[in-house]
């Protein structure tokens, strides 16, 4: 049996705060140096699922330090205590997890084993499941008031890392009452209380003075959802935002360099090809698409060299991927006027520009290309349904567990939940199963790279480049998190004046 150390990360690494609002017209809002003590944040994407933690909206709750998980990850991706203080691996499929005492939810109810069971069971029984649970059959039960037992149907050495996913945040039982969508307002445990959400426009959070980790320095967070990258950058330049997510590279040169912070991240800009229907059901057409893409040109002309050319699905943020095995390439066919639809979204300002260059390159190869570009919230369902022949996506590769297996399974397993590529191959499924069952360490990394090799040899997708975080911070801001995994933004240490 194995008990984790009971050490804690510094609070600045465990917590996430949030932000104030800029909208399309950037309504005036007090800033920290007005004496309000609040932080204004402009975020890239609006909520897509009503801020339920069972969706990608969970990462907003995490970045606002309002919803917390049992476990957090350190810089190396190793599990560290959060709402759990320790865990024991009882056997290959069973884990015993001790809960932090004297923690209360924002609605006043105590954190106990029953509350954790309610939250995790909501995730394990959701349809669709949170992607961190793709391919995982997990059950949770209380063992007294301060301990829970987690069981998996098969060997899963990454249970602690899975429990760090923001999609497995622990909210109070009231968040799950009524049978409707999970309601995070007033139901977290974090340093900030989510008090109001105005649809896809704004969110408001106030400091939790009773926070178990000690009160945050900021009095609150005012969040605005600003999909338009030019508007986000303008808010940084004109002082209507304190922290700005994802400054477009086309705008970064227009901002004072002292306000722009660049961090390599495990995020890959990828051309997903529809392997099931249309032109790219033909492997030779997928190979033709691969050969058409000029990745160096994309990095130079669109990203102004603020990105890294992709050599695979996993990039330099995971340095061990440089030791990947050699792979073979399939022969390319002649498109000879084959018609394809190329989709992408506007929320990340660079992607429509990438699509323009890709259209040129694919047409030069012989394809006839029609583009479809919308906001992500209006295009995701069609992309997942296979409505496009090709789709340009910026995809985080270790977003959930600090380990890329969950991403690879979600996107490329036959039973994955995010199969834009409409891809299914028994050999890849077997490789992913092997990787998922391998203990953390060198053997697991080798298994991951073997699965990547098989996916790329089939030209399921064309990895193009690895992005970097380009985060804007006003000169008055201190203590903001610059997190490659995009789980943290404002911490308990963050101030804006």
Q: Per-residue pLDDT averaged across 403-431, rounded?
A: 95
**CA count, 13 A, side-chain hemisphere, 2:** 8
Q: Which of 6-10, 88-92, 229-233, 366-370 has the lowest mean pLDDT?
A: 6-10
Which pair of tokens denotes residue 223?
């969040």
Q: What is the pLDDT of residue 32?
A: 42
Q: What is the pLDDT of residue 150?
A: 98
Whole-model pTM over 0.85: no
Distance (Å) of CA 152 to CA 7, 91, 184, 297: 26, 10, 27, 46
Q: Which of 7-21, 105-119, 331-345, 445-459 has the lowest mean pLDDT?
A: 7-21
pLDDT tier at 399, thresholds 50, 70, 90? low
Cβ atoms < 10 Å from Cβ of 89: 16
Q: What is the pLDDT of residue 298?
A: 97
Q: Per-residue pLDDT averaged across 462-480, rounded?
A: 95
Quickly tell me which residue has 């030779």 as its tokens: 284
d(CA 391, CA 384): 10
Distance (Å) of CA 93 to CA 17, 57, 154, 458: 35, 29, 6, 33
Q: Per-residue pLDDT averaged across 128-150, rounded?
A: 93
Cβ atoms < 10 Å from Cβ of 256: 11
Cβ atoms < 10 Å from Cβ of 434: 17
Q: Per-residue pLDDT averaged across 407-421, rounded?
A: 94
Distance (Å) of CA 273 to CA 285, 361, 463: 10, 15, 11
Question: In angstroms, how far apart are the furthest CA atoms of the chain?
Answer: 68
pLDDT tier at 10, thresholds 50, 70, 90? very low
User: What are the E-state strand segments in 293-366?
Assistant: 307-309, 339-345
Q: Per-residue pLDDT averaged across 336-357, rounded?
A: 95
Q: Among the residues of 127-265, which ranges form H helices?
A: 159-162, 229-238, 249-252
Q: Which of 24-38, 88-102, 287-301, 479-493 has the lowest mean pLDDT?
A: 24-38
347 pLDDT above the threshold of 60: yes
pLDDT tier at 178, thresholds 50, 70, 90? confident
Q: What is the pLDDT of residue 257?
A: 93
Of 78, 80, 83, 81, nearest to 67 by C-alpha is 83
Q: Which of 16-25, 197-206, 332-341, 488-497 has the lowest mean pLDDT?
A: 16-25
d(CA 397, CA 419): 14
Distance (Å) of CA 180 to CA 133, 175, 203, 461: 21, 9, 20, 36
Contacts of 485 (CB under 8 A, 6+ apart): 73, 265, 266, 396, 398, 399, 402
Q: What is the pLDDT of residue 3?
A: 39
pLDDT, tens digit, 9 for 90 and up, residues 251-286: 998 999 999 998 888 999 999 999 999 999 999 999
d(CA 215, CA 440): 35
Terminal Cα distance for the chain, rounded: 48
95 pLDDT above the threshold of 50: yes
Contact 60, 224 (CB under 8 A): no
Percent of the chain at pLDDT above 90? 76
Q: Which of 73-77, 88-92, 159-163, 205-209 has the lowest mean pLDDT?
A: 73-77
**Helix/strand/coil for 182:** coil
Rg of the chain on CA atoms, in Å? 22
Q: What is the pLDDT of residue 13?
A: 36
Contact 366, 337 (CB under 8 A): yes
d(CA 417, CA 415): 7
The secondary structure element, H or E, covering residue 271 is: strand 260-273
DSSP state letters, 376-402: GGGTHHHHHTT--SEEEEEEESSTTTS
Of 74, 103, 40, 384, nearest to 235 by C-alpha is 40
404 versus 25: the higher-pLDDT residue is: 404
235 pLDDT above the threshold of 60: yes
Q: Of the spans 16-30, 253-267, 351-365, which averages the highest pLDDT?
A: 351-365
Contacts of 108 (CB under 8 A, 6+ apart): none
Q: Per-residue pLDDT averaged across 88-92, rounded?
A: 94
pLDDT tier at 131, thresholds 50, 70, 90? confident
Quickly tell me which residue has 């992913």 as its tokens: 432
Q: Among the residues of 136-282, which ranges form H helices?
A: 159-162, 229-238, 249-252
Q: What is the pLDDT of residue 29?
A: 43
19 pLDDT above the threshold of 50: no
Distance (Å) of CA 454 to CA 290, 324, 435: 15, 12, 13
115 pLDDT above the threshold of 90: yes
Q: Per-residue pLDDT averaged across 342-370, rounded?
A: 96
Q: What are phi and psi of 89, to 5 degrees?
A: -85, 105
Across the chain, mean pLDDT equals 90
pLDDT, tens digit, 9 for 90 and up, residues 281-322: 999 999 999 999 999 999 999 998 989 999 999 998 888 888
């Amino acid at each position: 049996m194995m008990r984790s150390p009971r050490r804690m990360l510094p609070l600045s690494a465990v917590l996430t705060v949030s932000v104030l609002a800029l909208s399309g017209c950037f309504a005036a809002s007090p800033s920290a140096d007005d004496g309000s003590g609040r932080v204004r944040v402009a975020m890239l994407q609006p909520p897509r699922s009503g801020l339920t933690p069972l969706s990608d909206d969970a990462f907003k709750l995490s970045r606002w330090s309002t919803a917390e998980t049992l476990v957090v990850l350190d810089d190396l991706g190793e599990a560290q205590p959060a709402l759990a203080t320790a865990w024991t691996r009882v056997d290959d499929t069973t884990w015993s997890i001790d809960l932090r005492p004297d923690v209360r939810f924002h609605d006043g109810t105590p954190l106990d084993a029953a509350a954790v069971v309610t939250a995790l069971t909501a995730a394990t029984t959701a349809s669709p499941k949170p992607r961190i649970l793709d391919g995982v059959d997990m059950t949770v039960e209380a063992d007294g008031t301060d301990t829970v037992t987690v069981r998996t149907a098969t060997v899963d050495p990454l249970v602690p890392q899975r429990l760090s996913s923001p999609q497995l945040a622990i909210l109070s039982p009231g968040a799950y009452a009524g049978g409707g969508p999970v309601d995070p307002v007033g139901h977290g445990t974090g340093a900030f209380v989510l008090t109001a959400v105005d649809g896809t426009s704004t969110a408001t959070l106030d400091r939790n003075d009773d926070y178990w980790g000690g009160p945050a320095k900021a009095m609150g967070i005012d969040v605005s959802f600003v999909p338009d990258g030019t508007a986000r950058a303008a808010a940084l330049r004109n002082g209507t935002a304190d922290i700005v997510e994802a400054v477009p590279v086309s705008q970064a040169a227009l901002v004072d360099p002292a306000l722009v912070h660049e961090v390599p991240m495990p995020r890959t800009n990828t051309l997903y090809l529809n392997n099931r229907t249309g032109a790219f059901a033909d492997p030779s057409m997928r190979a033709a698409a691969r050969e058409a893409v000029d990745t160096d040109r994309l990095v130079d002309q669109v990203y102004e060299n603020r990105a890294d050319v992709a050599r695979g699905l996993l990039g330099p943020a995971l340095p061990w991927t440089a030791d990947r095995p050699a792979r073979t390439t399939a022969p390319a066919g002649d498109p000879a006027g084959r018609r394809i639809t190329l989709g992408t979204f506007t929320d990340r300002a660079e992607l429509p520009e990438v699509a323009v260059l890709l259209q040129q390159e694919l047409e030069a190869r012989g394809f006839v290309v029609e583009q479809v570009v919308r906001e992500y919230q209006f295009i995701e369902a069609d992309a997942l349904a296979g409505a496009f022949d090709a789709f340009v996506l910026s995809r985080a590769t270790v977003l959930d567990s600090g380990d890329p297996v969950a991403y690879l399974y979600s996107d490329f397993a036959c039973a994955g939940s995010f199969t834009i590529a409409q891809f299914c191959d028994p050999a890849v499924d077997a490789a992913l199963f092997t990787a998922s069952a391998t203990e953390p360490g060198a053997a697991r990394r080798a298994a991951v790279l073997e699965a990547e090799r098989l996916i790329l040899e089939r030209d399921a997708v064309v990895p193009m480049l690895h992005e970097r975080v380009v985060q804007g911070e006003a000169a008055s801001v201190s203590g903001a998190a610059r997190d490659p995994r995009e789980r943290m933004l404002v911490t308990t240490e963050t101030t804006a004046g």
